Chain A
Amino acid sequence: MSVSYTGVSWTPSKKRYDLVIGLGVALMLAAFALTGALVDPLATAETLVLRALSWTAVALLHVILAIGPLARLDPRLLPLLYNRRHLGVSMFVLGLAHAAFATAQFHALGDRNPLVSALAGYAAPGVNPRWTDLPFEPLGFLALVILFLMAATSHDFWLKLLGASIWKSLHSLVYVAYGLVLAHVALGIAQSGPAALLTRALLVGAACLTALHLVAYLRERRFDRGGRPPAAHGFVPVARLSKLADGQGRPIVVGGQRLALFRVGDAVHCVHGVCRHQGGPLGEGAVIDGCITCPWHGWQYRPEDGCSPPPFQEVVHTYPVRVEEDIVYVSPTPNPLATPAAAGDHHARETDATSQEGA
């Protein structure tokens, strides 16, 4: 929840996560380069390093893109999501090293600026190139620009500065970058000769990512379409009070919106279901230290008014709640932002709805 541009606070979780990233990347690079040198002793060190860097970056990109839908399908995997940006920055550094190395190797020490040489293309007059002959360098460069923007703005300082909507849109460009990377590698394969295992690995990777995203999306869509119509008093029945576990969230759908319902002791609270940080599902969170806690990165909000505890300034809408005969009802109309709202209380279930809303 740091919103000032300060260094990352190295919690034990972050240290372990980064240790695994470092170790895994080192092992992948070593396995690739050593195997390449063994099976092709004449391969130059430059070629091996170039290929090892690119392969490792592409493989990490697949892991990064898989974590999101996997954590949606099985929340036990959320610890992998918590520091995912560290994986992203690591992958960008690998891609940057690959690009720098390739530009120096193939375009430096000549009669033209290496970057211009790499990006200008090389269409020859009178030649109609097949699509497989198109230069692959600009595709990789464009992907790298996107990945740079993402890596550079990965700190929460930029999230705060840009706003969640712009920040999220910017980081959704990772899918564009993925497409560019795939095209970059595919053209490279098409131009350098058969690489059966690499081709299969990329195809399987792309198919798995597509399937994971599709399954996760369809599951969410099914739930979002399952909301109940409002009762006569305009509130929507959403759950049985007796089925709500204390301190554990429940995602609900009211009036087409995803909201989050929490029982805290005798009180029931409802807040908007989308975390202001990265859009995490607050309804899948829990109450920690008296605050609703997002399961993705732990951003917190007070159940009573939807405000983050000081010094943080994020706010989510709260929604009027009423409880009648063990049924919890939620209004589709939110309370004014940052307004303390009385919670639905099952001791007061016979009281007038207006007084429960506390508006």
Chain B
Amino acid sequence: MSATPDEFPRHPNAVVDRGAFYIGWQPRMPAALARVIRPLVITLVVLLVGLSAGVASTLRSGPPGVFEFGVVRDLDGVFYATPLPTLRLRDPVGGGAVSYYVVGAGKRGIPDELRALAGQRVRFRGTLIHQGGATMVELTEPASLTPSGPPPPGLERPAPQTVGERELVGELVDTKCFFGVMRPGLGKVHRGCAIRCLSGGVPPGLLLRHRSVDGERELGTVVMLVGEDGAPLELDPRWAALTIRARGTLESHGGIPVLRTRALELEPSS
């Protein structure tokens, strides 16, 4: 070999040692290459696994709410269709009676078969959804729905208390997802799902955001929206997750706020 310097341009990759040349169809990787590849791959896998855990640790799924998915209960109570579909039943943990909002399975409101039984005692199998003081029940098995006679005493609805005329501004949510079926069950990221739910008949709600007393946390209260006459509220489902201004009569149904909505409009900030 000549000792003369090679004055021709040489591609940096052209100086690879011939002994380290390796193609995947060859039986064995040269040891020199394996010494590079193995630690690199191990480091990469460890880094990616660690980063996966790190990213997951920073994500939150939304306000607390529980969907007892897979736990189907036998429910027995009096069904009321307006202003919100409600099952009034004996309190399973104490005396007295409690009210559960009722929704259909999937992204649906209640079926016509149940609506036709308004004011009657019914039995069906369903799944509980609860957040804070509100409980909702999904009619998970529509075939289990059976009328069981006139309403027994003690399951009458408490009379609603009128709070007064109010104008409220908040995010339009579908109450089924918000109460716990989806996490997150609110916000723009959930908008497609909320549109389907509202379109399918799930009762709409207005999420009012406010700070906690100590000012450190953002809290949310949902006001259930119904029509002024107590019938289901007619609205454009595509308003889901947008900021809405609602006017009407605010009532308290056993502590749950319900707005008999007279006017509804999109806020410009939507």
Contact = CB atoms under 8 A, between A and B. Distances in A.
A and B interact: yes
A232 interface: no
B183 A43 contact: yes
B97 interface: no
Interface in A7-29: 9, 11-14, 17, 20, 23-24, 27-29
Query: Interface residues of A: mostly helix, strand, loop or mixed?
Result: helix
B12 to A, nearest CB: 7
Contact of B25 (A11, A63, A242, A286): A11
A272 interface: no
Nearest to B59: A195
B177 to A, nearest CB: 9
B54 A14 contact: no
Nearest to A120: B192
A245 interface: yes
Contacts of A284: 11, 13-14, 16
Nearest to B270: A127
Given A39-B57, A59-B52, A82 B270 contact: no
B2 A243 contact: yes
Interface string A278-309: 00010111101000010101100000000000
A109 B108 contact: yes
Given A239-B6, A240-B8, A80 B58 contact: no
Nearest to B44: A63
B247 interface: no
B24 A111 contact: no
Given A82-B23, A198-B58, A77 B105 contact: no
B53 A124 contact: no
Nearest to B238: A124
A197 B54 contact: yes
Given A20-B45, A79-B37, A56 B52 contact: yes
B199 A51 contact: no
A250 to B, nearest CB: 5
B18 A245 contact: yes
A193 interface: yes
Contacts of A298: 23-26
A226 B182 CA distance: 61
Interface string A115-134: 00110001111110000110
A219 B28 CA distance: 31
Interface stretch (A100-108, A162-170, A310-318): A100-108
A172 interface: no
Contacts of A156: none
A83 B25 CA distance: 10
A247 to B, nearest CB: 6
Interface residues of B, number: 76
Contact of B55 (A55, A105, A122, A228): A55
Interface stretch (B65-73, B154-162, B220-228): B65-73
A153 interface: no
Interface stretch (A30-38, A88-96, A341-349): A30-38
Contact of A295 (B23, B27, B41, B50): B23
A335 to B, nearest CB: 22
Interface string B223-265: 0000000000000101110100000000000000000000000
B125 interface: no
Contact of B53 (A17, A32, A253): A32
A201 B192 contact: no
A79 B33 contact: yes
A283 to B, nearest CB: 7
Given A31-B56, A117-B192, A250-B10, A201 B51 contact: yes
Interface in A223-251: 223, 226-228, 237-240, 242-243, 245, 247-251
A106 B181 CA distance: 11
A192 B184 contact: yes
A77 B1 CA distance: 30
B57 A237 contact: no
B117 interface: no
B156 to A, nearest CB: 34
A51 B56 contact: yes
A66 B112 CA distance: 57
A78 B266 CA distance: 57
Given A135-B192, A227-B9, A109 B107 contact: yes
B130 to A, nearest CB: 12
A133 B240 CA distance: 12
Top 10 A-B residue pairs of the complex, sorted by shortest distance between their CB atoms: A109-B106, A298-B23, A191-B188, A110-B196, A82-B24, A192-B189, A110-B107, A226-B9, A124-B238, A242-B2
Interface of A: 9, 11-14, 17, 20, 23-24, 27-29, 31-36, 39-40, 42-44, 47-48, 51-52, 55-56, 59, 63, 72, 75-80, 82-83, 105-112, 117-118, 122-127, 132-133, 135-137, 188, 190-193, 195-198, 201, 219, 223, 226-228, 237-240, 242-243, 245, 247-253, 281, 283-286, 288, 293, 295, 297-298, 326
28 contacts: A12-B27, A13-B26, A14-B24, A35-B57, A47-B61, A52-B56, A56-B52, A79-B29, A80-B41, A82-B24, A105-B193, A109-B105, A110-B200, A111-B107, A112-B199, A124-B238, A192-B187, A197-B57, A219-B12, A242-B2, A247-B18, A249-B14, A251-B11, A284-B11, A284-B14, A298-B25, A298-B26, A326-B2
Given A201-B51, A293-B21, 8 more contacts: A14-B24, A32-B53, A36-B56, A55-B52, A122-B191, A133-B188, A191-B187, A283-B14
Interface of B: 1-2, 4, 6-14, 16, 18, 20-29, 33, 36-37, 40-41, 44-45, 48-61, 64-67, 69, 105-108, 182-184, 187-193, 195-197, 199-200, 236, 238-240, 242, 266, 270
